[in-house]
Chain A
Amino acid sequence: MSEATKAVVKDVTTMASPVSLKFRARAGKDLSRFLRGMKERRIVGRVCPSCNYVYVPPRGACPTCGCPMGDERVLPETGTITTFCIVNIPFEGQKLKPPYVCASVLLDGADVALFHLVGGCDVNEVRMGMRVRAEWVDEADAELSLETIRYFVPTGEPDRPLAQIREHI
């Protein structure tokens, strides 16, 4: 590089090296059935034939027993918030405008909590033990996705005592 060029060209310290990759994602057998249920606005869990725990969303195998899942079980739309956080921070790819609430929701009859959003109330009203129900998107907008549940909203029932949810955080 000539002295004249050096005078106008700064040292190279970084270079952009963009990478773009495309993948085909596969939902698998069990999750596919759950997602088809979502499109019909139904919550379809699965029962482990060995430990009898009810999983939702169902997984390809029972993490407790390591065996394939058993029968389907349609679950009610109601449940209890076991714990939550209020997201105040904006970040790339975020779909909702902060503040919003992310919560673990233990559906009635399920043995694992579902991580989802809470809406329909002020973020500061959300409590551990609060009773909620699924608020669905319109039938026409139902997708093969958990996003077919728009969020969970308070039912107004009395809270469940903390002692009852302690094991389901």
Chain B
Amino acid sequence: MSTFNTSREEIAIVSFVELSPAEASQLDEIETIQTIVSRATDGAGIARDRIGFTVSGSCDMLVGRPFSWIMAMDGAGVSKPIEESHVEMDGAWALYEAWVRLQHGDIDAALIYCFGANAAEDLMQVLALQLDPYYLAPTGINAAEVAALQASAMLASGATERQFAEVAVRAGLAVSVEAALAEPYLHRPLRASDLPRFSDGAAAMVIARGDYARSVCARPAWIQSMAHIADGHSLGARDLSKSPSLEKAARLAGVGAKATQIVEVHAPFGPQEVIALEALKQAGLSADAKVNPSGGTRAAQSVMVAGLAAIGRAASAIHRGEASRTVGHASSGPALQHNLIAVLEERS
């Protein structure tokens, strides 16, 4: 009964930049946005006046004050009014809003930017505020403990700690599987190498239509399709060892329609990467697709940025001519509750 149609317009990622954690940690929000926006537009030869829509993603709870993105917007230079929106979500969903906006065919390009502050004393505690405020949050459980519950559910349904350790090695968080397995448990069955290393960060992207995309980018990363799906929230009502939402989003986006060379997965906790890859395989992802050749986002995880970064890196691989078809994944929420998939292709 429900309808999900994919792209009617030719739309491509033509520019993507992210700020290194070291650089981001020196700047305030305005300086951060000024830096990434000018790099993603002026730096890529994209005229600001061709941008018909601007949308950002960020979260006040990371910064510690309400309306934190309003001041940050000064960095984008908007004294002349612009068509604009903001999502209190990862920048990947800002990209989704921009992609929907460009489907109307009346504007050439859209700017997306996002920033994440590692300003909280205990980010795992802040992230726990995503939980049901009546039945879950008052238990005092934090985000790492929710992820540990999920990892336990995986072990109970056949996954192994060795699989988790392999993910940690791939993310650069352990030198070997043996070394990872030798670490003590922090939140059993999670070890330090299963957890994200939080950092400051920011990213910006420009997407453009048809001929304009071709005119500013030698190898545009065409967005074949995008889809996002949420699972239910209540932890007790879900099979935490699986991600039906990711599998459904990947099917809707047509991940399995052609061979994919690279997949960039955004799973904040190591075991979640195992779940994500399984869901993507169920949806037809090529078995030989390289996983996170960029190194992934876990070694420097900037919340609200990491999802757009995964998609941006999947696009950059096409820009550099390293792949002709890539998949970018973004996630949100406790226990990988919400997932977004972008399928990107080179076209001759």
Contacts and interface: CB of A to CB of B under 8 A. Distances in A.
Contacts, number: 83
A163 interface: no
Given A22-B122, A61-B77, 20 more contacts: A17-B133, A19-B129, A21-B61, A21-B64, A21-B120, A21-B125, A26-B117, A29-B28, A30-B31, A59-B30, A60-B28, A60-B29, A60-B32, A60-B74, A62-B74, A62-B77, A65-B77, A66-B37, A66-B75, A66-B78
Interface of B: 26-34, 37-38, 48, 61, 63-64, 71, 73-79, 117, 119-122, 125-126, 129, 133-134, 137-138
12 contacts: A21-B125, A23-B63, A23-B64, A26-B28, A59-B30, A60-B32, A60-B34, A61-B34, A61-B74, A61-B75, A63-B74, A63-B77
The binding surface of chain A is classed by DSSP as loop
A23 B121 contact: yes
Interface of A: 15, 17, 19, 21-31, 59-68
Given A17-B133, A23-B64, A60-B27, A68 B121 contact: no
B138 to A, nearest CB: 5
A52 to B, nearest CB: 14
B64 A66 contact: no
Contact of B119 (A26, A31, A67): A26
Nearest to B48: A66
B130 to A, nearest CB: 12
Contacts of B64: 21, 23, 25
A88 to B, nearest CB: 24
B121 A64 contact: no
